[in-house]
Amino acid sequence: MKYFEDLAIIDCNVFIGNWAFRRLRRNDAPGVLAMMDDFGIERACVASADAILYKDCQAGNEKLYEETREAPDRLWLYATLNPAYPGWERDLARCVDLGFKAVRLYPCYHGYQLGSPEAGKLIDAAIEAGLPVSTPCRVVDVRQRHWMDTTDNLDPIELIEAAEAHPKGTYLLTESILSADRDNDLWPRMRALDFYVEMSRMTACLQNNLGVLVEALGANRVLFGTGFPFKTPSPAFLKVQVLDADDEAKSWIAGRSAQRVFMEK
Amino acid sequence: MVIDCHMHVRKKDDDSLDEAYCDWTVEAGDLLGIDVFCVSDVRLQGDLRYEDFHEANERVKQAVARHPDRLWGYCFVNPGDPRALDEVTQRVRDEGFVGVKLYHQYRIDEPVQEPLIERCIEWQIPILMHAGHPTDPATRARQPRISDASHFANAAERYPEAIFIEGHIGGGGDWEWALKHLREAPSVLLDTSGSVVDEWLVDRCVAELGADRLLFATDMTMEGGVGKVLDADLTEADRTKILGANFEAICARRQVS
């Protein structure tokens, strides 16, 4: 089902790989590419689902690279790294060499704080390498967590504070619900940074926190994302479709914001 | 007709109906192709007195009057209150509400529910209940008496003629756990609502339970509620059933006298 024939869509929230706690489907490269074709998605930014739970994240990154190397123009890769595990410096360098486009961090899964010195070192290294830093607030809804899964979600303020401590970086917040009022002081703090928010958990109906996000942060800071294959794609498309915003704003959300992050920096 | 069988109205700070929210709901329906919303007004925490649910149902009545072609009412009660049945009689028999909505004051299989269930069987009206199997300690602590699929299975075993709707399979609890139980409780229906839009969720519900037992709903997750049903690999006949025909069939069973 193609929702937008005239927009170049970049999906910034996609995974490839297995999740230990629930069977996923269409979670390999052919499956993701088929979904992209079905929905008219030009490019996707993909993280390794395996790497979240591997002790050695780099094994997941390598697997992701191998699986996607036939489609480098359509699949851009997040390098999942853990600053609390040895050797991330070399892993980061390896991922840069392989052409990964951004760093992905999971503090709730890997047991550290984004404001910690160890995370700060990794963020500085990502900035030095010219890679954005991406952090999801969650992978799954904790209310349906497996008994061995985390009970914690990342508070978006943690990424904002980390970004303020390292203001030269580019930051992508995914899987968040930012339901702040228009006059909340979070918005100018984010605007002062190179800070982007992915929209798959926001809504354009009723409370319309997506509309507030666009108005308060700017459409050029909002990234389209589906969360596939953890989540089904149509909700994200419907949100953009029903959003009360002009075509210019929707084109930024659909892909131009991501293009700015991943292609123009 | 597309029918959202699990939606809400809300009140303003002065306890009056939030009319703007009703209008936004209808506008969202226009945008997303939802013809009718079945709405209730529930109190989430604290003691629930007769005056509380009576006022809540009064707001639902006002909402339905505001959009009579788009909103249908559920009667929300605390089944432990001695006037619960009177309230159901007033709202369902006299004012045309389509069914009963329960929250987590009591579990669905507790004896206190029996007079209410028996009245709903007599009238062949549905009982929609907030439900789930939350697996995180915080949610479980907040809702110690939430009904899960095992409680619905118990109630359905005792009352197979009842029209039980387990609320929001995407409401955040372990939906795979719920499906395992509901396979053994063939009379229990399930609504698709909730903020969880897991890929494969609706498909799995249909595969495990059959399309006849699934009812489309949003519970305020508008785009997600619609999108997860659109994305499921279903026959168009099954999708039509889920999106509204199943709930229309429930309404056709009504025998309120």
CB contact under 8 A, A242 and B31: yes
In order along its 265 residues, chain A shows pLDDT tens digits of 899 989 999 999 999 999 999 999 999 999 999 999 999 999 999 999 999 999 999 999 999 999 999 999 999 999 999 999 999 999 999 999 999 999 999 999 999 999 999 999 999 999 999 999 999 999 999 999 999 999 999 999 999 999 999 999 999 999 999 888 999 999 999 999 999 999 999 999 999 999 999 999 999 999 999 999 999 999 999 999 999 999 999 999 999 999 999 987 6
Q: Contact B39/B73 with Cβ under 8 angstroms? A: yes
Do the chains contact at B199 and A143, CB–CB below 8 Å? no
Contacts of B220 in chain A (CB under 8 A): 206
When the pLDDT of each residue in chain B is averaged and rounded to a whole number, the result is: 97
Count of A-B CB contacts under 8 Å: 100
Nearest of A120, A195, A113, A109 to residue A160 by alpha carbon: A195
Is B74-252 a domain of CATH 1.10.540.10?
no
Query: Are the C-beta atoms of residues A22 and B176 closer than 8 Å to each other?
Result: yes
A242 in contact with chain B, both atoms CB, cutoff 8 A: yes
B136–A143 CB contact, under 8 Å: yes
Q: Which of A143, A145, A179, A209 to mutate to test the interface with B (most CBs of B within 10 A)?
A: A143
Give percent of chain B above pLDDT 70. Answer: 99
Of B114, B23, B127, nearest in space to B74 by CA: B127
The C-alpha atoms of residue A253 and residue B14 are separated, in whole angstroms, by: 38
Helix residue spans in chain B (DSSP H): 19-32, 50-66, 84-88, 114-123, 137-142, 149-158, 175-182, 201-209, 222-231, 236-240, 246-252
Residue scoring higher pLDDT (B198 or A179): B198
Domain locations in chain B? 74-252
Whether residues B136 and A25 touch (CB distance < 8 A) is answered with: no
Tell me, yes or no, if A34 comes closer than 8 A to chain B by beta carbon: no
- Picking from A108, A142, A205 by the largest number of B CB atoms within 10 A of its own CB, the best residue to mutate is A205
Which of A107-116, B136-145, B161-170, B246-255 shows the lowest mean pLDDT across its residues? B136-145
A226: closest CA of chain B, how far (Å)? 10
Which residues 8-27 on chain B approach chain A with CB closer than 8 angstroms? 21, 24-25
For residue B167, what pLDDT is reported? 98
- For residue B41, what pLDDT is reported? 97
Tell me which CATH homologous superfamily contains domain A9-262.
Answer: Metal-dependent hydrolases (3.20.20.140)
Q: Contact B198/A237, CB-based, under 8 Å?
A: no
User: Which uninterrupted H or E stretch holds A126?
Assistant: helix A117-129
Q: Name the band, by pLDDT with cuts 50, 70 and 90, for residue B172.
A: confident
Check CB contact of B228 with chain A, cutoff 8 Å. yes
Q: Does the beta carbon of A146 lie under 8 angstroms from any beta carbon of chain B?
A: yes
Question: Are A205 and B28 within 8 A, CB to CB?
Answer: yes
Chain B residue numbers with beta carbons less than 8 Å from the beta carbon of A233 are 199, 227, 231
CA distance A265 to chain B (A): 33
3-class secondary structure per residue, B144-198: CCCECHHHHHHHHHHCCCCEEEECCCCCCCCHHHHHHHHCCCCCCEEECCCCCCE
Establish if B139 touches chain A: CB-CB under 8 angstroms: yes
Which residues on B lie below 8 Å from A1 (Cβ)?
Answer: 230-231
Give whole-number Cα distances, B249 to A114, B76, B163, B218, B241, in Å: 53, 22, 11, 19, 9
- pTM as predicted: 0.97
Q: Which residues contact A230 (CB under 8 A, 6 or more apart)?
A: A15, A19, A24, A49, A139, A140, B198, B199
Interface contact B141, partner A, CB < 8 A: no
- Note the pLDDT tens digit of each residue in B40-58: 999 766 789 999 999 999 9
Domain ranges of chain A: 9-262
pLDDT class for B222, splitting at 50, 70, 90?
A: very high
Task: Compute the Cα dihedral for B114, B191, A149, A175 and give only its sign.
Answer: negative
Residue B221 forms contact with A (CB below 8 Å): yes
Provide φ and ψ at B38, rounded to 5°.
-95, 115
Tell me the average pLDDT across B49-75: 97
Indicate the residue of B139, B220, B228 with minimum beta-carbon distance to A235.
Answer: B228
- Residues comprising chain B, all counted: 257
Show the tokens assigned to A215: 């108005």
Given CB atoms, is A111 within the 8 Å cutoff of chain B?
no
Contact A146 B135 (CB under 8 A): yes
pLDDT score of A265: 65
| Contact check, Cβ <8 Å, A232/B32 | no
Q: Do A151 and B25 touch (CB under 8 A)?
A: no
- DSSP state letter for B1: -
Asked if A232 lies within 8 A of B132 by C-beta distance, the reply is no
Residue among B24, B199, B228 minimizing CB distance to A229: B199
Q: Which residues of A touch B137 (CB under 8 A)?
A: 151
Nearest by CB to B223, which of A144, A151, A242? A242
CA torsion A111→A115→A119→A124, rounded to 10°? Answer: 170
Sign of CA dihedral A91, A93, A94, A98: positive
CA-CA-CA-CA dihedral for B231, B233, B237, B240, to nearest 10 = -20
